[in-house]
Structure 1
Amino acid sequence: MSDTQARTIGLGGAFSIVVGSMLGIGIFLSPPEMARAVSSPAVFLAIWAAAGLIVLGGAVAYAELGARMPRAGGDYVFLRAAFGPSVAFAAGWTLFVGIFGGSIAAVALALCQYQIPALTGWDLTGVVVTLPAVGDVTLAQLVASGIVVALTGLNALGVRPAAWTQELTTLLPLAVLFVLSLIALGLWTAGSAPSGPPAAPLPLTLDGVVTAYMAAYFAYSGWNAVIYVAGEVTEPGRNIPRSLVGGTLSVTGLYVLMCLGFVAVLGMGGLASIGEAGSEMAGVLSGEGARWAMNGLVLLCLVASLNGTVLGGGRVGYAMGLDGVLVQRAGRLSPRTGTPSFALWLQGLWAVLLVVSNRFDVLLQTVSLAMVVVGSLTVACVFVLRRREGPPTGWAAWGYPWLPGLYLASSAGVVGVKIHGVVVDDASPAPLLGLAVVLLTFLAHRLARTRSRMAAS
């Protein structure tokens, strides 16, 4: 049995993994939340552009790391190389159990609780089924579990069908959203677009700007998705940087364009009064049929995001299995399909348990701060490896050290805001508890390794 992954994901597939993982529900939910925090269209759009620039700082750092170490596992592999196995162990478990498992459960349930009912009119949460040894679960939870199983099965069949699905569910929404935004702006500049109400003026405060930035930051999540499948990307020294940087720039441009359309058609006041911006803009422009079609497009975006998450998370488990820090079978490839099928099904089972228990939200909240810290440590790997090994011989991060440094400074600000919220504003302490658990995991692994070395000597 070969444990060497075949490189079958081309530039198009890698680009679709990045874009599809970013194009989730965030761009439709975050603009209304931001409009309630800042009333100035100029500030609103500037925050979107600034968040895109900051994310680009992370993308160029990950691109250099992915070109330098094009292997499955992403953050886990980079952190092990720069900071050692104990940091990688703590980060790997956070990624596999918390971030990927929780995200898969959350997106699958969002599909079944919101998007499928919006398209069909069926309330899947209103039907309750009693299962042996489980208890009462809603039909939404059962359908969400089925979606997780189906996409896990698709990914276990081979990387080609998973990549094709990613391209199909990504490129269509990308094109339609781009055209719709252009139509909205074209009608607005021609003076024939409906004009939404202006927002009641709000004082521009640091709290408002931070709230708006955090919402935009959430919408950009997923920009690093391709590095988890780096071991299967063709010409990784070229295609990983191209997909990461190109995908991030494409989504940033699309997001700014869409937000221009939201402001032009809905107005800041209208935007602040709704919950989801995409279907509302489509409905205002073209009626209920367009609103329904937009809900279908959002569903496709969620499927792409979910498929990309399943694809990437399984590779983290695979890398950990290779190192013996997860069950060893997780580090083996299927002799028939060449995929880390055991790691994928292990991840799928965990996600289904989270869906059925309905505790994914608590888990995601708990690991939210740890997720920011893990990403920051990974970007810091560029600085560590350059100092230790010198500049890379292949692709190098643009704007080093300033652009990656901007990402690190922003992440430090996000961590500070989270801590301030717990200490001063009585927010949930779960993120700090999650970070403490990750730190304890690191210390326990470090202590175990120290004792093992002492016993061996």
Structure 2
Amino acid sequence: MQLLRVIGFFHGNMLLLSSTVGGGILFVSPKGVLKYSSLNIPVSLSIWAGCGLLNMMNALCLAELATTFPVSAASYYFLKRSFGSSIAFLCLWIQLFNHFLGIGAQSLLIASNLVQLFYSGCPVPELPKKCLALAVLWSFGILNGRGIKTVAQVQTISSLMKMAVLCLISVTGIVLLVIGEKENMSRFENALDAELPDASQIADAILQVNFSYVGASLLVNIAGEIKSPTDTITKSFICGLSIVTLLYILTNISYLAVLTPLEIISSDSVAVTWMDRVFPSVQWVISLGISASMVTSTSSGILSASRIFYCASQNGQLPVIYSMLNDHHSPVVAVTLIIILSSIAIIASDLIYLVKYVALGASCVNLLKMIGLLKLRYQKPDLPRPYKVSQYVNTNIEYTACLWINLSRSCRWSLALNTTCSQITKSDT
């Protein structure tokens, strides 16, 4: 038995949206980015836009390796081909721990928001929050055992709900800015007078934003189950991440149109606080809808991690039992182990630390993938590549890297931008 290629363009987009849009944008990341941006609104929005561009470029590079090696856990298989077994084994465990912590963080976010509805105005007790997180985790572990087609159908419903929530927040914020009171615009008018953050704060803010894009690698990890991977993966990345980046920026603008920066960083759930201010009469119902739409983010993490187990087992770096499939063509033993380890992360960990560790681990693995991509191009230029990242995209990656290097050396954005623009002009000439 083998994994089946049953995911097309539509379900591929739905899986991408469902795995990417989660508790990060609705609960955690806006608060963290503003905090580490020293409450500077232009810097905060610039970081959201810049990280969206970086993640789009990263996704296009991942699309090249996923279409060159269209197998489950293509990123792990690619690292093994590029750097050898030792580096691949190290990255395997970084990715696996990253998935365990990410699944735990998502489950805690969902549980925290659901339990908060019953503790209005009071801190949420840890025991009921962690018990509900475990219940959500094990429920979606059972769902993953039913196969990827069942997961894709549930994720489609979840994706539509998430898009509806983000569109509601974005459109309402734009309307409030256009026809609202002067108070809504005053935060943006005085924004340039705010204090500039230092380099370490910008780095922390970038990690917070990257947490909202962690799930974007799902399509690479299920490349062995996608129909026509060359077309489906590439088009899904371009279409899905463009929508996500635009909605993330508009959602943050909407938050700032209704709430002050201090209110945002003091909120445990930014979206719920926003709803309470704009739609107070139906706040409970909308909060429940937000939580319901976020629940399936856990399922995406389980799906992605189980395919890494499956591929590593087939390549001899994990016991062969993890590549065994049940009647629904699901690696159920791998799914079970993931649930157990994620349960330990939920019981023993704190949410804020989980977010940082997940984003840091994902950034390290992505850096290795980019190095491996360039290395393999140099060593094996004739390797068949159905899709190849254009020279334009590669050049932009270099320009963007120069920008972030300059930002780390100086807190003055104008100096960093001028230096990067100068490098671009010289290269073009």
Measured in 2, the distance between the counterparts of 1:139 and 1:189 equals 42
Measured at CA, do residues 404 and 67 of structure 1 come closer, stay the same or move farther in structure 2, by a change above 3 Å?
Answer: farther
2:328 counterpart SS class: coil
Partner AA of 2:137 in structure 1 = V
Unaligned runs of 5+ in 2: 410-429
For the structure 1 residues 394 and 277, does the alpha-carbon distance in structure 2 shift closer, same or farther, using more than 3 Å as the test?
same
Read off the aligned partner of 1:372 and give its amino acid letter. S
Q: 5 Å matches for 1:276-425?
A: 276-289=269-282, 291-334=283-326, 336-358=327-349, 369-390=360-381, 393-398=385-390, 399-405=392-398
Counterpart of 1:177 in structure 2 is 166
TM-score, normalised to structure 1's length? Answer: 0.78
Match of 2:235 among 231, 242, 249: 242
1:35-71 Cα deviation digits (max 9, x unpaired) = 3424443333222111111111111100111111111
2:216 matches 1:218:
no
* Deviation (angstroms), 1:212: 3.3
Identity of aligned residues (%): 22
Distance of aligned partners of 1:357 and 1:393 in 2 relative to their CA distance in 1, 3 Å threshold? closer
Where does residue 95 of structure 2 map in the other structure?
95
Instruction: Please tell me whether the aligned partners of residues 115 and 128 of structure 2 are also in contact (alpha carbons under 8 angstroms).
Output: no
Deviates more, 1:386-395 or 1:41-50: 386-395
Question: Deviation digits for residues 162-193 of structure 1, max 9, x if unmatched?
Answer: 11111111121112311331122023212358
For 2:153, the equivalent position in structure 1 comes to 164
Task: Look up the equivalent residue of 1:286 and give its one-letter code.
Answer: F
Tell me which amino acid in the other structure corresponds to 1:250: I
The one-letter code sitting in structure 2 at the alignment partner of 1:316 is: I
SS in 2 for 1:157: coil
Note closer, same or farther for the CA distance 1:329–1:147 as it changes in structure 2 (3 Å cut): same
- Shift of residue 253, structure 1, vs aligned partner: 0.5
Distance, in Å, in 1 between the alignment partners of 2:50 and 2:143 is: 37
What's the CA shift string for 1:173-221, capped at 9, x where partnerless? 1123113311220232123586286378432243354443333233222
Q: How far apart are residue 404 of structure 1 and its match?
A: 4.0
The reply to whether residue 22 of structure 1 matches residue 23 of structure 2 is no
**Matched residue SS, 1:222:** helix
Q: Which residue of 2 aligns with 1:230?
A: 223
Shift of 1:156: 0.9
TM-aligned CA distance change 1:171 to 1:194, over 3 Å:
farther
- Equivalent position of 1:46 in the other structure: 46
**Contact 1:64–1:396 (CA under 8 A) maintained in structure 2:** yes
**Contact 1:73-1:315 within 8 A present in 2 as well:** yes
Deviation at 1:360, TM superposition (A): 8.4
5+ residue gaps in structure 1? 128-137, 418-457
In 1, the alpha carbon distance for the partners of 2:290 and 2:388 equals 35
In 2 relative to 1, CA 279–363 (structure 1 residues): closer, same or farther, beyond 3 Å?
closer
Partners of 2:306 and 2:325 in 1: CA distance: 11
Select between 390-399 and 223-232 the one with higher mean Cα deviation. Answer: 390-399
Following TM superposition, by how much is the alpha carbon of 1:284 offset from its aligned partner in structure 2, in angstroms? 2.1
Comparing 357-366 with 5-14, which one deviates more in the overlay?
357-366
CA contact (8 A) 1:54 1:406 kept: no
CA apart distance, 1:84: 1.2
Report how many residues are paired: 400
When residues 76 and 237 of structure 1 are mapped into structure 2, their CA distance, relative to the original with a 3 A threshold, is same
Change (3 A) 1:33 1:125: closer
What is the alpha-carbon root mean square deviation over aligned residues? Answer: 3.0
Question: Following the alignment from structure 1 to structure 2, what is the Cα–Cα distance between the partners of residues 69 and 411?
Answer: 30
Deviation at 1:249, TM superposition (A): 1.2
What is the one-letter code of the residue matched to 2:299? N
**Gap change, CA 1:363 and 1:244, over 3 Å in 2:** same
In structure 2, the partner of 1:431 is: none
Match of 1:384, as an amino acid?
K
- The 3 A distance-change label for structure 1 pair 111 and 403 is same
Aligned match of 1:257 in 247, 250, 259? 250
CA distance in 2, matches of 1:17, 1:411: 30
